[in-house]
Amino acid sequence: MVSLLEMPQTLPQQVPRQNDRPVEETESAEIMIDVRDLDFAYAGNKVLHNVSLDIPPKAVTAFIGPSGCGKTTLLRCINRMNDLIEGARITRGTIHLGGIDINAPQVDVVDLRRRVGMVFQKSNPFPKSIYENISYGLRIAGVNKRSRIDEAVEKSLRGAALWDEVKDRLDEGALGLSGGQQQRLCIARALAVEPDVVLMDEPCSALDPIATAKIEELIHELKRQYTIVIVTHNMQQAGRVSDHTGFFYLGKLIEFGPTTKIFTNPSERRTEDYITGRFG
Amino acid sequence: MMPPKHILGTFDEALSSVRNNVLMMAGLAERTLDRAVKGLLQRDDNLCTTAIADDEEIDQLEKQIDKEGVDVLLRFQPVASDLRRVVAAMKLSPNIERIADQATNIARRARKLNRHPPLPEVEIIVPIQAHAMAMFKDAIDAFVREDVDLGRAVVARDKDLDHMNKMANRKLTDRMAQDPKQLRGYLNLIFISRCLERVGDHATNIAEDAVYAAAAEDIRHQALVQASNG
Contacts of A273 in chain B (CB under 8 A): 3-4
Burial of B167 (0-12, 13-18, 19+ CB in 10 A): middle
Could you tell me how many CB contacts below 8 A there are between chain A and chain B?
44
CB contact under 8 Å between B79 and A273, yes or no, is no
Question: Does A26 map to a domain?
Answer: yes
Is residue A205 a part of any domain in this protein?
yes
The strand pairing partners of A252, in sequence order, are A249
Option in B7, B77, B216 nearest A278 (CB): B7
| Interchain pair A265, B80: CB under 8 A | yes
Of A235, A271, A278, the CB nearest to B3: A278
Percent of residues, chain A, with pLDDT higher than 70: 89
pLDDT tens digits along A1-39: 445 544 444 333 333 333 443 333 333 358 999 999 999
- According to DSSP, the residues that pair with A60 across neighbouring strands are A228
Indicate the pLDDT class of residue A206, thresholds 50, 70 and 90: confident
Interface test with B, best of A262, A272, A276 (most B CBs within 10 A): A276
Does B111 reach chain A within 8 Å, measured CB to CB?
no
* Interatomic CA distance for residues A247 and A279, integer angstroms: 13
Stretch B49-75: mean pLDDT: 95
Please report residues of A whose CB lies closer than 8 A to that of B88: none
DSSP sequence for A221-273:
HHTTTSEEEEE-S-HHHHHHH-SEEEEEETTEEEEEEEHHHHHHS-SSHHHHH
Q: What is the pLDDT of residues A219-250, one digit of tens each?
A: 999 999 999 999 999 999 999 999 999 999 99
Assigned domain for A173 exists: no
The interface residues of chain B toward chain A in range 69-88, judged by CB-CB distance below 8 A, are 77-84
Percent helix, strand, coil in chain A, to 5, is: 40, 25, 35
Determine the distance in angstroms separating the CA of B95 from the nearest CA of chain A, rounded to an integer.
23
Q: Residue A167 falls within a domain, yes or no? A: no
Residue A32 included in any domain? yes
Q: Considering only alpha carbons, which residue of chain B is nearest residue A278?
A: B6
Average pLDDT value over all residues in chain B = 94
Instruction: Report the domain count for chain A.
Output: 1
Confidence of residue A278 (pLDDT cuts 50, 70, 90): confident
- Cα separation, B52 vs B100, in Å, equals 9
Domains and CATH numbers, chain B: 9-225 (1.20.58.220)
How confident is the model at residue A225, as a pLDDT? 95
Residue A154 lies in a domain: no
Contact B97, B59 (CB under 8 A): yes
Predicted ipTM?
0.77
Number of residues written out for chain A: 280
Residue A145 within any structural domain of the chain: no
Model pLDDT, residue A29: 57
Domain-embedded: residue A147: no
Mean pLDDT, rounded, for A209-226: 92
pLDDT(A126) > 70: yes
* Residue range(s) defining the domain that contains residue A211: 4-124+196-275
pLDDT of B156: 96
CB contact under 8 A, B77 and A235: yes
Residue of A nearest to B214 (CA): A265
The confidence score (pLDDT) of residue A9 equals 42
Contact A14, A31 (CB under 8 A): no
- Find the CATH number of the domain harbouring A24: 3.40.50.300
Write out chain B residues lying below 8 Å of A280, CB-based: 7
Min Cα–Cα distance to chain A from B87, Å: 11
Long-range contacts of A50-56 (CB under 8 A, 24+ apart): A50/A92, A50/A93, A50/A252, A51/A93, A51/A251, A51/A252, A51/A253, A52/A93, A52/A253, A53/A246, A53/A253, A53/A256, A54/A29, A55/A31, A55/A227, A55/A229, A55/A244, A56/A29, A56/A30, A56/A31, A56/A32, A56/A227, A56/A243, A56/A244
Tens digit of pLDDT for each residue in B38-52? 999 999 999 999 999
For residue B12, the chain A residues in CB contact (below 8 A) are none
